Amino acid sequence: MDDQLVTVRNCNWLQEAEVIKSVLAAEGIEAEIPDEHFMGVQPIYGAGIGGVKVMVRASDLERAEDALQATVEP
């Protein structure tokens, strides 16, 4: 199994990333937001660090993208 983390979504706001993370958790997919604490304290720096990344294991990427397309995106 591949445990390398890859970005499944790049969000503008921490709140958006948290929703994405919760959708993935509901599907049984473990997700991480590496800059979660920093963005909670300094949300205005999101654009400066390239957005708020939601990351999953590479082995879960396809399943995560399918789950997000079915629930989050129109």
| β-pairing verdict for 52-57 and 5-11 | antiparallel
Q: Is 16 exposed, middle or buried (0-12, 13-18, 19+ CB in 10 A)?
A: middle
> pTM, whole model, 2 decimals?
0.83
Which tokens belong to 12?
């503008």
Tens of pLDDT along the chain (74 residues)?
A: 558 999 999 988 888 899 999 999 999 999 999 887 777 777 676 766 778 899 999 999 999 999 999 887 64
